[in-house]
Chains A and B, each alone.
Chain A
Amino acid sequence: MLFRFVERKHWYFLLSAILILPGVFFLAIGGLKPGIEFQGGTLLDLRFTSPPPATELHDVLAGLGHPEAIVQGAEGGRMEVRTLTLKTDATTNETVTVEQAIKAKYATTYIDDNASTVSPSFSAELVTNAVRSIVFASILIVLLIAFAFKEFGWSAFRYGIAAIIALLHDALLVLGLFAILGYFLNVEVDSLFVTAVLTIIGFSVHDTIVVFDRIRENLHLNRGEALNPVINYSIMQTLARSVITSLTVVLTLLALYLFGGYSMRTFALALVVGIVSGTYSSIFNASQIISLWQEIEDRIRHRGRRTSGAAAAS
């Protein structure tokens, strides 16, 4: 049985585009919502004679429209609650609303509270540094892959570039998904999300290299064979490994998503989506880019030969 991975490449490219483009649109209109760590907000320092459980306090805040609240217990019966900036204008004073709700719920134990503005604890520098590092790392990865595949000469570079395109595919898919979630459901991204994206990038390159290495080996063993069939059975041969590896990681993450705490949810979701995408792009996109590149090159060369042939005839 041989699945036609290469022949149907245009359909796979189309599918990827359909999955990615809406996300890119929402990214462009600023759908990605920065969390408290990046934005700063309000810190409520509450004092109780005996503090309520953090999860319970979180539910109170969530009920008041602040599911992003981070509740942290401290010494001496204090609870610190961080939320995005509580709005105060002519009609509403959120700080007062929140204070009163807590006072009402914990009438017997509540002592007092103190609200202040906090700055972002993570600067934008964290993100720009990460992005800059990724760009730099991408260049090095292209060089590394080119070195590993040096027997192909200059063509080795296209393997590196294809791996980076697959990487962009996975990163954009996850960023786009969270831009959409941010736009419609106000899901915010935090520093954990940044690490999730970095993890996805690591996995994506890893997956792609495994498939490419099989193509390299098969081309080496069967010299003179056409590229497309070799790509086809190389993907076939690595298919079991690709699926099993990402399955094991997804198993762990699924457990984290289902049984893990509240704050783990978005993190696990981002990772699951990214790793599935990484496996998909390594099977259905990365090698297909190599094939497409070769076909375009052949066509140009063919046309060149034809025109030079025509010139010679005249």
Chain B
Amino acid sequence: MSRAWAWVIVVVAVLAVWVDIPKHQISFPFECPGICYRLGGQSTFIEIKTHLGLDLQGGTQLVLQLHPELIPGGTTTSIDDLNAQARVVIDRRINSLGVSEPVIESLGANKILLQLPGVSDLAEAQRIATQQAFLEIKVPDDATAGTYKSLTPPLTGANLKPTFVEFQGSNNAPVVHFEFGSPDDARWVQLSKDYLNKPVQINLDKQEISAPRINQVFSSGSGIIEGNFTTKTAKELSTLLNSGALPVPLEIVQSSRVEPTLGQDSVRRSMAAGAIGLLLVALFMILYYRLPGVIAVIALLFYTALTYAVFRLIPVTLTLAGVAGFILSIGMAVDANVLTFERLKEELRAGKTLRVSLDEGRRRAFPSILYSNLATILTALILFNFGTGTVKGFALTLIVGVVVSFFTAVFVTQLLLHAAIEYPSLRRRRLWGVEERPADGTTGGRAAASVTV
């Protein structure tokens, strides 16, 4: 069994290192920098890279101008309220793209300042920030053939339930599934009776997306939006509809790259400091625990490589708060090792053999490790679910870190410890941090120098 585990760990380590290496240097054996797969007509491409937050890497800044004068029919809502509402909608849209911790502030009353980490897709960011996402269903205008008119009052997406993307037809084309909430659902059903066998027009921001023919009377408020969508554009539309329409037209008045909020210099120094700290920890572990300390450091290296790989894969946007979660999880990974080693020493001092001590040490340290890690994961899960912004990012890195550390500290360390005792030269008591002679002093000479297996 332990041989199988050894292989699992080796494979995981190789994969982790492969993911960790920047792909612009090595892309063998795959031809794209990341994960690509093709299934039928679908092809997906996930770029693997480290996502750094605004505080560490900087990003793109958009300044958006509010245009309340362009609201059809004017508005009675104050500019401050419009600004606040628009910020909520933008925040929702950005957040549904993943955990990226944007900065969204009002800049004076009539502007919004939006900062996004990285510059992966500026065009997408601009669309997401400014598209109003005002959905309206129009019906054929009998006065002029081929044109459409609004219902009175207009049937809009104001009461939409959450939409989602589904795939339809023989070619698995992506479509957006929507459902009207009350009272629009009744109007939707009524519309299908009134305009049976006629086309209705689905408009987004006054532009037709599609004009499907109604073939049957609907039984519920749900329907689909077809169009020449790719999976990506369908998801984007779904996101926009789910976040609600912007209450006011927005215009991008400035778009520029910004440096990290922490300052380049500060980031560099903090990273160096973190490295020094970890080096000190490694040094301490080796000096204090000897051979098990060396093994713990190897397990920690494995841990760091694996966690970093997971961060790149999910992807997790690393901010300083995320780094804090990472440091905490390193502390807990070290702790799991310390707990095991302290137990190991106790068992060895009690005169047990190395092999028995290893197993006993693991068995008795396990509940502490399990329950303390469970408590942390529990807290982090709740923070992730209910938290916002920074707190969410912190919780995510902590969850990843603790789960990985549990794996490395329990499996990897144990495996390495068991592998080490296969070598007679590594069985010397001093290497395991206990006194040269057993407490009872029954054995002497060379035999006492190594621990009985």
Chain A residues with a Cβ under 8 A of chain B: 40, 43, 53-55, 58, 70-76, 78, 80, 116-123, 125-126, 129-130, 132-134, 136-137, 140-141, 144-145, 148, 191-192, 194-196, 198-199, 201-203, 205-207, 209-210, 213-214, 216-217, 237-238, 240-241, 244-245, 247-249, 251-256, 258-264, 267, 271
Contacts and interface: CB of A to CB of B under 8 A. Distances in A.
The dominant DSSP class at the B interface is: helix
Given A120-B105, A121-B104, A126-B391, A140 B262 contact: no
B277 interface: yes
B403 to A, nearest CB: 14
Interface string B311-355: 000000000110011011011101100110010001000000000
Given A54-B265, A122-B389, 5 more contacts: A43-B107, A74-B61, A210-B372, A253-B277, A264-B320
Contacts of B21: none
A132 B391 CA distance: 13
Contacts of B104: 121
Contacts of A117: 106-108
B374 interface: yes
Contacts of A249: 327-328, 331, 334
Nearest to A55: B265
B256 A141 contact: no
B189 interface: no
Given A205-B379, A252-B280, A116 B390 contact: no
A140 B375 CA distance: 8
Interface of B: 58, 61, 87, 103-108, 111, 113, 256-267, 269-270, 272-274, 276-278, 280-281, 284-285, 288, 320-321, 324-325, 327-328, 330-332, 334-335, 338-339, 342, 346, 364, 367-368, 371-376, 378-380, 382-383, 385-391, 394-395, 398
A263 B378 CA distance: 30
Contact of A205 (B61, B269, B270, B376): B376
Contacts of B374: 144
B382 A260 contact: no
Contacts of B335: 206, 210, 241, 245
Contacts of B378: 137, 140-141, 144
A121 B388 contact: no
Nearest to B393: A195
A75 B383 contact: no
Given A118-B113, A244-B288, A133 B386 contact: yes
Contacts of A71: 263
Nearest to A239: B342
A207 B332 CA distance: 10
A247 B281 CA distance: 9
9 contacts: A55-B263, A137-B378, A209-B375, A241-B335, A249-B328, A249-B331, A251-B281, A256-B270, A260-B270
Contact of B390 (A195, A241, A251): A195
Contacts of B266: 55, 260-264
Given A248-B334, A259-B276, A132 B386 contact: yes
B368 A256 contact: no
Contact of B113 (A43, A214, A244, A251): A43
A230 B159 CA distance: 63
B368 A214 contact: yes
Contacts of A80: 258
